[in-house]
Each structure stands twice: as structure tokens, then as C-alpha cells.
């Protein structure tokens, strides 16, 4: 598949999320994500607001579902989400419930392998249970805690090729990637590229002379979309 750029709206109010989403869409972003902070702060209202503002754009609801899978997926699908996220560490029945709700309500399922004992096995487990995508994810607290102890911070790139080779469904890499690393993800076989928001554009190659965030984001989208993979 062609590379896709997804922006994670990790904000805590609808107004800021909509403002950032408009900027991102003008810059060439393909998918919008209602990030976990937005889900916690605004819930279904945030997803409904995004859907009303962007009626044709795929919207990912980063629920990180661990239980109550069918109801959570149903609620978000009815609010306008096209994709929902369930965790590999959830019970297999929960994942099956999310997949069933996805089929019933026309919503794709992204399975997140964060903190799996084996990231590769976690990805295969999610695929076997019917997920449409794998999110290969190193968590925020894990990365920061390890770095604070003076140890090397883990990266999704460490096992990305292994995860990609283990499954047939598209893979997305998340967690502590620099802009340069995120842009490289399609070259690893992971075509779904996530950019966090609020964005901190600190890569020299993608700074504009006047510090214009939208122009910088447009350059990043072009760099991702131009890749032949």
C-alpha cells in the first residue's frame, strides 16, 4: 500500500484538536487520530466533532481497549470513527469482540502490541484474531523510565522489520521516533506513518525559514508520500 500519514491529536480540548486537524489536512495528512488524551478529555464528543468537521476523512479512535470491547468499538463507530484500537494484552475474547463490532459497524480494527512479552508474537496474535492493522508500539512511560535510569531507550525500529515480516496486514510503528525515523518507516515495510501533535518540528531538514508549522508539516507529508515501497 502507498504510505499514509496519520496525525495523532494528543490534545485535551476539541477546539485545539479541530484547529490542529485543519492545519494538518491542509498540509496533506491522510488520517486523523483522536489521541488517547483527547478521548479521555472529550470522549465521544471529540470524535463526533472531528467527523462533523471532516466527513470524508478516516478517523482513528485510540481507545487502547482492554475490556468491554464490543461496546467501546460500537460507540466510537457510531460517533464516526473508522478505526479503533485494541491492545494485544487484552483477553483474546475482548479482541474478538472488537473485531466483531468492527464487522457489524463498518470499522477497522488496529491491534496494539505494546508490552507484549514478544512483540512479534503479539503482532501475530492480533492478526490471527482478525485485526486489520498492527500498531508496533513502545510506550511513553516505558521509554522515559528506561532513559531515566541511564539505559538505552528502546525504539520501535529495533524489531520493526521482524514484526513486518511476521504478519500480512499493514504495520504502524509508534513510540519515541524522531521525525527522520518516522519518515523512514515505509522503507521498513511499515506504510502507516504517525506524527504526534502538538508537533515539535526540530529536524533541520524540515524547518522552514520562518518556522511555519504548516509548511514544515507539508514537507514531511511530501517526503513520506513520495516514497515508492
Q: Where are the domains of the chain?
A: 4-225
Parallel, antiparallel, or unpaired for β 133-137 and 108-112?
A: parallel
> 35-49: per-residue pLDDT in tens?
999 999 999 999 999
**Widest CA span in the chain:** 52
CATH of domain 4-225: 3.20.20.70
Count of CB atoms within 10 A of residue 37's CB?
17
Look at 201 and 24; give whichever has higher pLDDT: 24
Torsion, CA 163, CA 164, CA 170, CA 174, rounded to 10? 50
Buried b (16+ CB within 10 A) or exposed e, 84-100: bbbbbbbeeebbbbbbb
Nearest to 192 by CA among 85, 98, 91, 101: 85
Count of CB atoms within 10 A of residue 224's CB?
23
> 103-115: per-residue pLDDT in tens?
999 999 999 999 9
> 117-175: per-residue pLDDT in tens?
999 999 999 999 999 999 999 999 999 999 999 999 999 999 999 999 999 999 999 99
| pTM score | 0.93
Q: Render 107-167 in DSSP notation, one character per residue.
A: -EEEEE-TT-SSHHHHHHHHHHTT-SEEEEE--HHHHHHHHHTTSPPP-GGGSHHHHHHH-
Instruction: Please give the C-alpha separations between residue 49 and each of 21, 33, 116, in angstroms, as whole numbers.
Output: 11, 12, 33
Which pLDDT belongs to residue 206? 46
Is residue 204's pLDDT more than 60? no
pLDDT, mean over the chain: 93
Mean pLDDT of 8-18: 94
- Above pLDDT 70, what percent of the chain? 93
Which pLDDT belongs to residue 228? 84
Distance CA 15, CA 11 (A): 9
Q: Render 50-103 in DSSP notation, one character per residue.
A: HHHH-TTS-EEEEEEE-S-HHHHHHHHHHHT-SEEEEETTS-HHHHHHHHHHHH
Which pLDDT belongs to residue 207? 46
Amino acid at each position: 500500500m502507498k504510505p499514509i500519514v496519520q496525525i495523532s491529536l494528543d490534545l485535551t480540548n476539541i477546539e485545539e484538536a479541530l484547529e490542529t486537524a485543519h492545519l494538518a489536512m491542509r498540509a496533506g495528512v491522510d488520517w486523523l487520530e483522536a489521541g488517547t488524551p483527547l478521548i479521555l478529555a472529550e470522549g465521544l464528543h471529540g470524535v463526533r466533532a472531528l467527523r462533523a468537521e471532516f466527513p470524508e476523512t478516516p478517523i482513528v479512535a485510540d481507545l487502547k481497549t482492554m475490556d468491554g470491547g464490543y461496546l467501546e468499538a460500537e460507540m466510537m463507530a457510531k460517533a464516526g470513527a473508522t478505526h479503533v484500537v485494541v491492545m494485544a494484552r487484552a483477553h483474546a475474547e475482548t479482541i474478538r469482540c472488537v473485531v466483531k463490532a468492527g464487522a457489524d459497524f463498518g470499522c477497522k480494527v488496529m491491534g496494539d502490541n505494546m508490552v507484549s512479552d514478544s512483540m512479534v508474537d503479539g503482532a501475530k496474535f492480533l492478526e490471527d484474531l482478525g485485526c486489520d492493522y498492527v500498531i508496533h508500539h513502545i510506550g511513553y512511560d516505558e521509554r522515559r523510565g528506561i532513559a531515566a535510569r541511564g539505559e538505552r531507550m528502546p525504539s520501535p525500529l529495533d524489531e520493526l522489520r521482524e514484526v513486518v515480516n511476521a504478519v500480512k496486514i499493514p504495520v504502524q510503528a509508534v513510540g519515541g521516533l524522531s521525525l527522520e525515523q518516522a519518515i523512514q518507516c515505509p522503507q521498513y515495510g511499515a506504510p502507516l506513518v504517525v506524527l504526534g501533535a502538538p508537533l515539535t518540528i526540530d529536524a533541520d531538514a524540515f524547518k522552514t525559514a520562518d518556522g511555519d508549522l504548516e509548511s514544515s508539516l507539508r514537507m514531511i507529508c511530501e517526503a513520506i508520500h513520495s516514497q515508492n515501497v
